């Protein structure tokens, strides 16, 4: 789906592989994150959950996409990942099927996101776990955030987009 115009035109896989149309989130602000359970940034799960709980009723959705492409830091199955995240970080936001974000098998959604919001020096590659993309209510990409950007540093942007 390389010719997609916005986020809502994509379908991804839910845990276990069932298709999930992102159009169900139309009109909401969405924070997309490639995640990993054995990474130095893994504590960000807790802060992501806090944002989700604080702004969910106002229209925020956080979508976690587990990825094992960086240092093999997400080796588990979808079920193991979900259990870990819920037990250790209280995660209730949706965690999707484990994907790749770079290379020839990259999830098409991430290919789109990387093109719409390139990284530093125009790079379209994702450099590490916990790269974040903030999606506006109209399905356009607002901004890309580095793995080192803590979720609480994105809060002002989220509040701004929710108020529009």
CA–CA distance, 127 with 41 (Å, rounded to integer): 13
What is the pLDDT at residue 3? 64
Low-confidence ranges of the chain (pLDDT < 70): 1-3
CB 157 within 8 Å of CB 133? no
Q: What radius of gyration do the chain's Cα atoms show?
A: 14
CATH of domain 7-163: 3.40.30.10
Note the residue count of the chain: 164
Active-site residue list = 39
Burial 34-67 (b: 16+ CB within 10 A, else e): bbbbebebbebbebbbebbeebeeeebbbbbbbb
Q: Which of 8, 110, 7, 93 is nearest to 51 (CA)?
A: 93
CA angle 52, 130, 162 (to 5 degrees): 35
Burial label for 120, CB within 10 Å (0-12, 13-18, 19+), is: exposed
Domain ranges of the chain: 7-163
pLDDT at 1: 41
Query: CA 10 to CA 102: how far, in whole Å?
Result: 17
Mean residue pLDDT across the chain: 95
């Amino acid at each position: 789906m390389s010719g997609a115009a916005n986020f809502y035109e994509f379908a991804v896989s839910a845990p276990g592989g069932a298709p999930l149309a992102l159009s169900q989130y139309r009109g909401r602000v969405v924070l997309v994150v490639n995640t990993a359970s054995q990474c130095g940034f893994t504590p960000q799960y807790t802060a992501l959950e806090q944002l989700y709980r604080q702004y969910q009723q106002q229209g925020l959705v956080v979508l976690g996409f587990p990825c094992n492409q960086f240092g093999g830091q997400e080796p588990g199955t979808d079920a193991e990942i979900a259990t870990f995240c819920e037990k250790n970080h209280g995660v209730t936001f949706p965690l999707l099927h484990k994907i790749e974000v770079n290379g020839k098998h990259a999830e098409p959604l991430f290919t789109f996101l990387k093109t719409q919001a390139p990284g530093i020096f125009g790079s379209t590659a994702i450099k590490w776990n916990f790269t974040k993309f903030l999606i506006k209510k109209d399905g356009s990409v607002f901004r890309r955030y580095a793995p080192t950007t803590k979720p609480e540093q994105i809060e002002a942007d989220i509040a701004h987009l929710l108020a529009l």
